[in-house]
Amino acid sequence: MVRPSQGAERKPTALAEDDLGRLIRWSLEDAVSGAEPSPDVWPRILQQVKQKGAASEPGPVRRRLLSGLVPLMQAVVVSSLLLVFGLSVDRSMLMPHPESQALPTPAVQVSVVSEEESQDVLSGCILFRQAKEPLPRPSTGVTCGSREARGIEVSSWSTLSLDGKRR
């Protein structure tokens, strides 16, 4: 419920605000209603606009140079972009991240050798060793053949027969 005193307070305020608005509007409009810019303003604007337009437009030589350079610059820019893109793809797609990189498993080489082959190898080794080692001298002290024959070197001993003659 609105008290009568509140309504009585509001009405003059609203009216006064309208009066204030009207007073401001009237004062401002009346003060500037006949104001106009001087005729010199437009020629100055036009002059500045033409100067700026002339400064921003390139001359014929510059224009020709620019028109020749534009495709070259475009090609350089595009190729460098492609290069950068390609490098980034290489690094990001082909090279795994360090945390997800799988370390190579060390290779263990196992050679399978059959039993027959091992026997062959073993017998080959034995034969080789026997061929290199000298045969032992007979320890019986049996004199065989003449003095000259006794002086025969050991290496040729096996070639002598019991009768002392070379075979």
Residue 124 touches other proteins, criterion: CB under 8 A: no
- Binding string, residues 49-88; x marks residues near other proteins by CB under 8 A: x--x------------------------------------
Q: How far apart are CA 75 and CA 86, in angstroms?
A: 16
* Among the residue ranges 42-50, 92-100, 114-122, 125-133, the one whose residues contact other proteins (CB under 8 A): 42-50
**Residue 101, amino acid:** Q
Cα 88 from chain centroid (whole Å): 6
Contacts of 15 (CB under 8 A, 6+ apart): none
Q: Which is nearer to other proteins, 30 or 163 (CB)?
A: 30
- Asked if 125 touches other proteins (CB under 8 A), the answer is no
Alpha helices (H) in 36-114, listed in sequence order: 41-56, 60-89
Can you say whether the dihedral through the CA atoms of 5, 11, 14, 15 is positive or negative?
Answer: negative
Please give the angle made by the CA atoms of 11, 15 and 16, to the nearest 5 degrees: 115
Of 38 and 114, nearer to other proteins (C-beta) is 38
Closest distance to other proteins from the beta carbon of 46 (Å): 7
Q: With binding defined as CB under 8 A, does residue 41 bind other proteins?
A: yes
Which residues contact other proteins by CB under 8 A?
A: 12-13, 15-17, 19-21, 23-25, 27-38, 40-42, 44-46, 48-49, 52
